Amino acid sequence: MSTSSETTEKRIWEEEYKITSYLVNLRGRAGLYAILNLIQDVGWMHAIAAQVRLPANLAWVFTRQKLVMSQWPKWNETISIRTWLRPPESAAFILRDYEIILNGQVIGTCTSTFAVIDTQTRKIAAQEWSEYEQLFRTGTALPHHPVKIPYREDAQDLTVFEVRNSDIDLNNHVNNTKYAKWILDSISIDTLRAGVDLLEYEVNFLAEARSGDRVTVQSCAEEKLEGQSDSATALIQFQGVRVSDKKTIFTAKLRVR
């Protein structure tokens, strides 16, 4: 189900999603991987509705993302995800905001940073955003601004993932959501069953992984956070490094309770 606010200009787009059996995790909720896929979908639907088209040699890619959740929806619940574009801050990047709504309450917010790449050179292609000016929503930006997450040398190897066919998307590289899946798959099942609450997920996409690549997922020791309103929170950094050339593919931080 799709709706648009400010219909003429389609500045805000909203999609409704039922949390079905194939979206829930072992705790019966739509977890990180599922929510990131729905976030990706609503942005795609907004772009289609707004008739945002790029030349055949260009493509959108995620560069950074931050997700903050106060509650994860359960099986059979229905959520809405609302999205809009911020006015661009540079010729290279643009930011998209999202709100995740359950029973009229915002249970999650997200901001993603995008760039346009040349599919032949695989380099960022600067854009003239003025033709999309009618889509930019002013004065309503979320507080998030995804930041640089530096690679850490003290990380420990967890496991190695070989890129499979099902990891590859239309841009012929590993889809952004798969890195979150790899992180989850590198954590022990006992930890997931223990009921640890994921509060925030922030990620930098630093290089492309392609078919046949092998990527080592690493993690760093938990960093206890001071001055948080919720008790016993910790920050854990994960990162992915390509085996063949030691290039950093992604860095990510998870805040847990």
Max CA distance (Å), the chain: 52
Average pLDDT, consecutive stretches of 10 residues, N- to C-terminus, the chain (257 residues) = 52 97 97 98 94 86 97 98 94 94 99 93 88 88 95 98 97 96 97 90 98 98 75 91 99 97
What's the confidence (pLDDT) of residue 238?
Answer: 99
Cα separation, 102 vs 122, in Å, equals: 38
The β-bridge partners of 4 are 13
pLDDT attached to residue 163 = 99
Domains in the chain: ranges and CATH: 1-146 (3.10.129.10), 147-257 (3.10.129.10)
The pLDDT assigned to 145 comes to 93
Q: Alpha helices, DSSP H only, in the chain?
A: 32-49, 176-186, 189-193
Strand 2-5 to 198-205 pairing: unpaired
Q: What are the tokens at 103?
A: 């029973």
Which residues face 72 on adjacent strands? none
Task: Give the CA count within 13 Å in the CB-facing half-sphere of 239.
Answer: 23
Tokens linked to 140:
């309503």
Q: What's the pLDDT score for residue 237?
A: 98
CB-based contacts of 245: which residues, under 8 Å, 6+ apart?
none
**Is 245 buried (19+), middle (13-18) or exposed (0-12) by CB count in 10 A?**
exposed
